[in-house]
Amino acid sequence: MAKMKAWNFYEPEVMRFEDEDIPVISDNEVLVKVKAVGICGSDVSYYYGHSPLGTASGKGPLYLGHEAAGVIVSLGGIPAGLGLFKEGDRVAINPVQQCNACPACMRGEFHECGHCEVIGVSVNGCFAEYVKVKYTHVYKIPNEVSFESAALAEPVACSTHGVTLLDIKLGQTALVYGLGSIGLMMVQLVKAAGAGKVIAIGAHDFGLVKAKELGATHVINSRETASPYYAASVEQKVIEINSGEKAPRCIVATGNMNAVEDALNLTGPCSTIVYFGLPGPKDELKIPVLDALQAERTLKFSWLAPLVWDNVFAVMASGQVKVEPLVTHKFSLEETEKGIRFMKEGKGDKIKGIVVIN
C-alpha cells in the first residue's frame, strides 16, 4: 500500500506526524493531493479539546483540516464516467458532505443534514498529503485563484451564507462586529452586497487597519483606549456615523456572547442581526424581549454554507473578496501542529494561518 505523511490527532494536544496509507477511493470519490489548508478556529478548538470531534466517540484518531484546495490525482468510476473532472484539475473542497437523500437535503438545507460526513471533523481531513472527497464536493477553481486563496473558499462560503442572511438593502449601514479572518471577509462581502457605510468594530488596531484597507468606511476600537479609533461609547459613535440613528444591520463574527448583547444596543427598530460565531456548549443569550418585540427585531443564526459556493468563486475571482491580505502566517505540512498552537498561543498580530504543501 502506498504511503503518505499525515497528522493523526489522537486526543487533546496529542497529534503525531505519521506514515499512513494513501486513502483508497470508492466509485463516487476523487483523490486530491492537498496543496494548501487553512487552520480554522475550530481546528484549534478540537486540538485543545474545547470541542468534540464529529466522530461517533467524539474523539480521534482523525486527521483534522477542512479548509483545503489541491489537485485531483485519481477519479472513481462515477466522476470519470461523467467527464466532469480529470486528473490535474485544481479544486477546492467543500468539507460538508451531505447525504442528498434525507428530508433536510430534499429541501436544500444541506447544512442541517443529519448524515453528513464532514472532512476533518467526522472523517479524515486535509492535514495530510492526500484526502479523498466525494466528487460532488470538489469544485474546480478559476485560474486566477491560487491554491492558497482557494483553501479559504470554505470560510468565504460560510461568511457568504451569513451575509446572505443579513439581507442588506442597497445603501444600508452595516456593522461588522469582530475582526478575525471571518469578520474581515464579511467587511468585504457586506460592501459587495450593497451596504453604504460599513462600520467595523474590533478590539485591536491590527484588524481595524486591515478592515479599512479592505473597504470598511469606518472603524471603531472598542477596547484599547490608546487607539486612534477608540470610542468610549461604541453606541454613540455608531449613531454619530449613521446620521443620528442606530444601525439597521449587524453581523456578529465572534463567539463572544457580550457581542450579541452589544449588537442589540447598536441596532435600531426593524433591524436584523446575524450571529456567526462558535459559542461554548453552555452559552446562553439574554434578550430584553419587550424591547425586541416593540422594535420588531430579527435575530438570525448562521451555520455553515448551503448553496453559496458558485458565488464564492465568483466573488474571489472578481476580487470583490480578497483573502491574501488575511493570511498572516504560513506553515509547512511538517509544521502543522506548531501552526495550530501558534494560532492560539503565539504572540503578535495574527489573523489567518495556513499550511502550504509543496
In the region spanning residues 9 to 68, those forming contacts with Zn ion, defined by CB under 5 A, are 40
Q: Closest CB to Zn ion among 105 and 327?
A: 105
Q: Give φ, ψ of 151 to 5 degrees.
A: -60, -25
Q: Closest CB to Zn ion among 80 and 102?
A: 102
CA distance 189 to 322: 10
Q: Which residue has the cell 473558499?
A: 153
Tell me the closest approach of the beta carbon of residue 90 to Zn ion, in angstroms: 20
Tell me which residue of 223, 191, 192 sits closest to 207, measured CA to CA.
223
Contact residue for Zn ion among 14, 82, 99, 314 (CB under 5 A): 99
Q: Closest CB to Zn ion among 107 and 338?
A: 107
Q: Closest CB to Zn ion among 14 and 99?
A: 99
SS (H, E, C) 196-217: CCEEEEECCHHHHHHHHHCCCC
Q: Should residue 113 be labelled a site residue for Zn ion when binding is judged by CB under 5 A?
A: yes
Q: Should residue 216 be labelled a site residue for Zn ion when binding is judged by CB under 5 A?
A: no
Contact residue for Zn ion among 4, 73, 78, 102 (CB under 5 A): 102
Q: Closest CB to Zn ion among 66 and 237?
A: 66
Asked if 159 and 182 count as a contact pair (C-beta separation under 8 A), the reply is yes
Q: Should residue 93 be labelled a site residue for Zn ion when binding is judged by CB under 5 A?
A: no
Residue 25 DSSP code: P
Indicate the burial class of 2 (C-beta count within 10 angstroms; 0-12, 13-18, 19 or more): exposed
Tell me the closest approach of the beta carbon of residue 120 to Zn ion, in angstroms: 8
Tell me the closest approach of the beta carbon of residue 105 to Zn ion, in angstroms: 3
Q: How many residues bind Zn ion (CB under 5 A)?
A: 7
Tell me the closest approach of the beta carbon of residue 187 to Zn ion, in angstroms: 18
CA distance 25 to 4: 15
Cα angle 308-312-313, degrees, rounded to a multiple of 5? 130
Q: Which residue has the cell 470598511?
A: 216
Contact residue for Zn ion among 105, 260, 315, 340 (CB under 5 A): 105
E-strand ranges in 12-164 read 14-21, 29-39, 67-75, 90-93, 96-97, 117-118, 130-134, 138-140
Tell me the closest approach of the beta carbon of residue 37 to Zn ion, in angstroms: 10
Q: Closest CB to Zn ion among 189 and 219?
A: 189
Interface residues with Zn ion (CB under 5 A)? 40, 98-99, 102, 105, 113, 115
